[in-house]
Chains A and B, each alone.
Chain A
């Protein structure tokens, strides 16, 4: 054995590589604080990952290279085309899917290690405890993420699927069963049957938690599942005594927790209440009766009128929502904004934190359409500006503009921070129909004297306005 080969197999050298790897993760992620440094940050984190993988391959004993190559080849063949071809509007389900496979890997590894060691035979108690934790949380995350994927991809209905009043007790029971079986395993049982039943209970729990959640609550759920996978990876790291896994897993756990909390605050709802589910219909409520009970009347307008109004405005604020994503209208919106800017109109975009189906969903779509980063305004920055705004153009957003959140204590969304579009001189709402949004709540904004409705598909409606604008 040469000096070089003994050096690269030295455990201290490998530990040093792991430390370099997680230092690069942290340094890379800190680049995500600004759009200019973010690309580099992500690549630095990817380099860290490559170093961690190489260190692990060096650490291994001989054997199983063929199987490793097989697994990596399959993963690459699936992952690369998926990442290259996915549409930006489909990003939430892509993230859900990637999150799911991560959770799947976690519970499969825990299961294989359980089998290999004859039921954690002769391993320290803490290793068994962390492995069991990883198995349970990984299984929940795998199944939960797959359900979330199915809902977002519309393979499953987006509306809540619940057991009604039985939902909470059932969830609790499944959780208790999974934990109890986990305790039996950690306490020294070598029964694989018990292990599999534990995975099964966790799998059912993952289904039971996500199925009742409506489309508009998805940002919270995806963040939460992201945190869960991260924590399960960290637990795997403790069980396998691997510092890179622990650090990476905890960073993801922290990130997911922060996002979950931000989303819940932006909806003014507690995380347990969201998990309890049954609230959102995802804007897909069938047969909603529309304007029925409301006393006021709605003013409908035409693309030509909107074009005139916009052309002579000084400042226009565009408020995008999930409807823009569904209609794939982001490029049409950008064209309209360009035409307005060419006329000297100032255009800004008001982004509510929970607009869309995942945190930051609208920003990604608008960035895809080449909207400059500086024009994307967060809620707190744009709200004072509405009183100086001539026209607010609401595209496929609903509940995030509903003044009832501020004025009607009886409203289900009361207390949710909203975009104050009603403060602008006039409001134009582009919407398919009068169907209420995910909360199934009337939006009194539509009945205000300053509001006009332009009914139609977001993409064609915006394109019509742009066309009319050219004629002025």
Chain B
């Protein structure tokens, strides 16, 4: 299990570097808020742990806060990124050929 997980970890790191290196400077703020939304995936951790047995009241409180935090992170992050990217997309002029970098 550990070996599999570490393999995924290392490969994902390389994929991340390969993909993110291609993002132009101009889009770095949306990149940052987009990846921010993605690390909101820790929400899954909260959902999993709260479903296990043996959680006392304090634990449930901690996990509800964690789930709320994770949700803020995901929902807020994707929405705000969408707002920003829409601004980059709409443009009055420009020839269609310089579509992409």
Closest approach, in angstroms, between the C-beta of B54 and any C-beta of chain A? 5
Contact A259 B44 (CB under 8 A): no
Given contacts A67-B63, A230-B35, contact A33 B100 (CB under 8 A): yes
Contact B27 A75 (CB under 8 A): no
B residues near A60, Cβ cutoff 8 Å = 47-48, 51
Given contacts A109-B45, A248-B38, A370-B91, contact A26 B15 (CB under 8 A): yes
Contact B88 A35 (CB under 8 A): yes
Partner of A52, one of B19, B23, B39, B41: B41
Closest approach, in angstroms, between the C-beta of B65 and any C-beta of chain A? 6
Given contacts A94-B80, A105-B66, A241-B5, contact A373 B26 (CB under 8 A): yes
Binds B, one of A112-120, A170-178, A182-190: A112-120
Q: Flag whether A32 is at the interface (Cβ < 8 A).
A: yes
The B38-86 residues at the A interface (CB cut-off 8 A) are 38-56, 58-60, 62-86
Digitize A113-139: 1 where CB-to-B-CB distance is under 8 Å, 0 elsewhere: 101110000001010000000000000
Partner of A226, one of B15, B32, B68, B92: B32
Closest approach, in angstroms, between the C-beta of B60 and any C-beta of chain A? 6
B residues near A124, Cβ cutoff 8 Å = 2
Interface size class of B (residues with CB under 8 A): 35 or more
Contact B32 A95 (CB under 8 A): yes
Given contacts A33-B22, A49-B37, contact A116 B71 (CB under 8 A): no
Contact B75 A255 (CB under 8 A): no
**Max count, chain B CB within 10 A of own CB: residue among A46, A126, A378:** A46
Digitize A239-251: 1 where CB-to-B-CB distance is under 8 Å, 0 elsewhere: 0111111111111
Q: In the complex, what distance in Å separates the CA atom of A164 from the CA atom of B78?
A: 40
Closest approach, in angstroms, between the C-beta of A227 and any C-beta of chain B? 9
Q: In the complex, what distance in Å separates the CA atom of A26 from the CA atom of B8?
A: 14
Given contacts A74-B68, A102-B42, A251-B19, contact A29 B6 (CB under 8 A): no
Q: Flag whether A56 is at the interface (Cβ < 8 A).
A: yes
B residues near A116, Cβ cutoff 8 Å = 49, 52, 54-55, 59
Partner of A75, one of B22, B63, B68, B94: B68
A residues near B81, Cβ cutoff 8 Å = 42
The A15-68 residues at the B interface (CB cut-off 8 A) are 22, 25-26, 29-30, 32-39, 42-43, 45-46, 49, 52-53, 56-57, 59-61, 63-64, 67-68
Q: In the complex, what distance in Å separates the CA atom of A437 from the CA atom of B27?
A: 25
Contact B23 A36 (CB under 8 A): no
A residues near B64, Cβ cutoff 8 Å = 67, 70-71, 74
Taking A49-B78, A109-B42 as known contacts, 20 extra A-B pairs with beta carbons closer than 8 A to each other, sorted by chain A number, are: A29-B34, A36-B99, A42-B34, A45-B34, A45-B38, A56-B44, A57-B47, A109-B62, A112-B49, A116-B59, A222-B32, A230-B35, A230-B39, A236-B42, A246-B8, A247-B12, A257-B17, A258-B20, A359-B31, A360-B31
